[in-house]
Structure 1
Amino acid sequence: MLPPTAGPNSPWHGIPAYIAGTTALAGLGLAAGGTAGALLATELAGTASVAGLPVALHLGGSAVGALLVSHQAGRGHRGRGLALGLVLGALGALAVVLAAKQGSLAWMLAGSALLGTANSSIFLLRYTAAQAVPEGSRGRALGAVFLATALGAVISPLLLGPSGTAAHAIGLPTLCGLYLVAFVAFGGSALLLAAGCSPRTPVLGRAASVLASGLRPARGTVRLGAALREPAAVVALSALAGANFIMVGVMTLTPVHLSQHGAGHGVVGSFVALHVVGMFAPAPLVGRLADRYGPMPVVLIGAVISLMASVLGSFSTGPTTMTTVHLVLAGLGWNFGVVGASTLLTGAVPGQLRPYVEGIGEATMGAAAVVVAPLVAALPGAWGYHLLGLCAVALTALALVRMRRPAADLLLSTPRMLK
């Protein structure tokens, strides 16, 4: 059933406009865990070797949060779970600010883990979009929510300089600025989502048909295990993990790499913003490609683009044109991989099991990030980029092997699709 706020010709495909606004607002806090986290840990510890730790813990928290949110969604409380993840993320941002004020790296890392739960809510909103539209429009719905996320996520790293100035003015370390932004953004979006869960809420309550949908809880680990062993689900989960592995590796290395080459916080924020544009802006087009030609080719294109980005990163030397191309391609490869794999995953399992598998998909992405972030950050100089390039080659080869049979099936069905 489509929400009553949008007809079949709406660009949001039945998703209430306020959900897009809520996603954009929450996106303002995304740079706190990545861009600011790596820099703040380096500042507190006095060495860049710990830069990957807050990123890894942040994304580990995101993986745990995904399971929490998906459990609520499977019980028919999707909106409540999403709001809970954002509230916990806001508390994590506040914890990091207090830790930085005290100069405590340990408490900063603990706050980073809690902050990650907000990420899971932000990115699981794309599946809320897919739930509300017919099967043939899922890619476009996912793309629309990613575009809404971009509105906040692109602005977020650009606030590194201005928010730092504001934080310094009130007696806090400058890198606390983005965490204050995250506290407000996550808290505000959680309130909006909570309001939309009740049909009695004026205007916003129209979204309750999606946020408080009456899914009957699926029972039995046997059915869930069987769904996860489906070839399409295996490919989708592998692609989600691979795309996030490469993207998080790039995001962990780049802020510290640019800073070591003399770039200020404003310049670092600008470069990260370009990367975020590549991550989210093309999503509506990529979603249409997934609906038109199927998600498999989209996933494969993403793997190849990510490989190209990782190889270029090996030759990156500070804030140059090559670094710009490298970051944009890294974001674009992630976009193709995640939009394609998410579209594939939503069609790979039955409706009652879908919320649980969606959460497992997010947790898989988080697990890949937890592995790569400390690994690349602990290596000296450009070795992190070289390792990431080698991993990209291996992951792309694995994607080709995984997809050879599904891709063959796709080629056989393409003539019928185009008729």
Structure 2
Amino acid sequence: MTSTATRAPAQGHGLLARLAAATAVGSTGLAAGGTAGALLATDLAGPAAAGLPLGLLVLGSAAGAVLMSWLAARGHRRRGLVLGYTLGVAGAALVVLAAVARSLPLVLVGSVALGTANSAVFLTRYAAAAATTAANRGRALGTVFFATAIGAVASPLLLGPSEAVARHLGLPRFSGLYLVAVLVFGAAALVLATGARSSRGGPVGQGSGRAALRAVLSRGRGRVAVLMLAGTNLVMTGVMTIAPVHLVAHGQGLDLLGTIVALHVLGMFAPSPVSGRLADRFGPLPVILAGAVLLLAACLLGLFAAGHGTVAMVGHLLVLGVGWNFGIVGASTLLAGAAPEPLRPYAEGIGEMSMGLAAAVAGPAAGLAADLGGYWALSLGGAVAAVCLLAVYWSSNGRTSS
């Protein structure tokens, strides 16, 4: 007879495998809102509009994070993820129709809905952290993030082939990745929907719960985690809003562009087993610090990379991706341990919302900066933001133990 203690780890491993599989599939649609969104907006309305789809996408991602975290706090974490992917399917389909109609406003509406699927991809890391013990939280989170690399690296590589498919179907050239998103977001929703149901939970008491949540997020580990999540995503999103447009404007074909973006995405997710293990071994704060330093190095490299060929740009974007990975894995592990269990889904949702709002600011601001001062101005702005991250870390480090 199998004991409950024996079954629990097996159930945890099975859940982690299902979460990783859904993430690997769903993340194949990530480049639709980022890389293809900027290119499609530029085609419809010029370079100044490049950041608008991503800005609206991350607003949708932030709203989706709130909804999914609300469901998670009531014991429906997986149901919330399925809902996020389903809304993403609808958003991707709307963008394809908008591209056919050459309607930027409809592209932006579809981008909002598409953002909920992106939020589902990234919120899955917290579902993995909740499925294991505190001592292995970083490893579980890193496992799902590593699974993200499978689809996220493949996604930009599909830019060229999906363009060919779109042309064959008589659709606009930059709509191909949105067709991919329709398929893979739907498949990810199916993978999660066919699993066992989440256990039911109860809502936290409104008065005491809100006060306790404010206390967690306004000081110490919770405050550092949220600020680092937001700042890390701001730097990365700002640079990656413009980098594909800059490369295309300088003569790069879509196949080579897809390869360059894929290398950046590989840097974003492939180091996750290492950064997760380091967060468990040494604590999340040193991992966060390493991420901020790498982001600063990437932006400083960007000051010179734009005029020095493809290899320099690849190095710049690869370091940017690794810096993002260390910052997000470290801050997510810190946040997951900062709040007590009943409040944790709410704290995670606020952390994800902070990432979305930061990216919503970064996208349009990056487009404006690049329009006024070129890639040099964009990289300088990213470097200043990375220095601010280091300042937040050092000002808080004396009051926050790892």
Deviation at 1:408, TM superposition (A): 4.2
Matches within 5 A, 1:19-98: 19-45=19-45, 47-98=46-97
1:366 aligns with 2:356: yes
Matches within 5 A, 1:298-317: 298-317=287-306
Asked if the contact 1:2–1:132 (Cα under 8 Å) also holds between the matched residues in 2, the reply is no
Asked if the contact 1:6–1:16 (Cα under 8 Å) also holds between the matched residues in 2, the reply is no
Deviation at 1:383, TM superposition (A): 2.8
Measure the CA separation in 1 of the matches of 2:6 and 2:371.
51
Deviation at 1:405, TM superposition (A): 6.1
Q: TM-score, normalised by structure 1?
A: 0.90
Measure the CA separation in 1 of the matches of 2:400 and 2:366.
36
Alignment match, 2:17: 17
Asked if the contact 1:235–1:402 (Cα under 8 Å) also holds between the matched residues in 2, the reply is yes
Measure the CA separation in 2 of the matches of 1:4 and 1:148.
24
Alignment match, 2:201: 215
Alignment match, 1:281: 270
1:345 to 335, 338, 354: 335
Alignment match, 1:193: 192
Measure the CA separation in 2 of the matches of 1:173 and 1:3.
54
Matches within 5 A, 1:75-154: 75-154=74-153
Measure the CA separation in 2 of the matches of 1:140 and 1:88.
29
Alignment match, 1:295: 284
Higher helix share: 2
Deviation at 1:2, TM superposition (A): 8.7
Query: Residues 300 and 391 (structure 1 numbering): CA distance in 2 closer, same or farther, change over 3 Å?
Result: farther
Q: TM-score, normalised by structure 2?
A: 0.93
Measure the CA separation in 1 of the matches of 2:96 and 2:181.
11
1:268 to 221, 244, 257: 257
Alignment match, 1:176: 175
Identity of aligned residues (%): 52
Measure the CA separation in 1 of the matches of 2:205 and 2:194.
29
Q: Return 5+ residue gaps in structure 2 as ranges.
A: none
Alignment: residue pair count: 395
Deviation at 1:14, TM superposition (A): 5.9
Matches within 5 A, 1:369-388: 369-380=359-370, 383=373, 385-388=375-378
Measure the CA separation in 1 of the matches of 2:7 and 2:41.
47
Residue identity opposite 1:376 in structure 2:
A
Query: Residues 258 and 393 (structure 1 numbering): CA distance in 2 closer, same or farther, change over 3 Å?
Result: closer
1:400 aligns with 2:390: yes
Measure the CA separation in 1 of the matches of 2:372 and 2:304.
8
Alignment match, 2:239: 250
Deviation at 1:7, TM superposition (A): 4.2
Residue identity opposite 1:300 in structure 2:
L
Query: Residues 63 and 406 (structure 1 numbering): CA distance in 2 closer, same or farther, change over 3 Å?
Result: same
Deviation at 1:228, TM superposition (A): 1.3
Measure the CA separation in 1 of the matches of 2:6 and 2:115.
29
Deviation at 1:122, TM superposition (A): 0.5
Measure the CA separation in 1 of the matches of 2:299 and 2:392.
21
Deviation at 1:226, TM superposition (A): 1.4
Residue identity opposite 2:327 in structure 1:
G
Q: Return 5+ residue gaps in structure 1 as ranges.
A: 197-204, 414-419
Residue identity opposite 1:305 in structure 2:
L
Shifted more, 237-246 versus 315-324: the winner is 315-324
Residue identity opposite 1:30 in structure 2:
L
Asked if the contact 1:61–1:116 (Cα under 8 Å) also holds between the matched residues in 2, the reply is yes
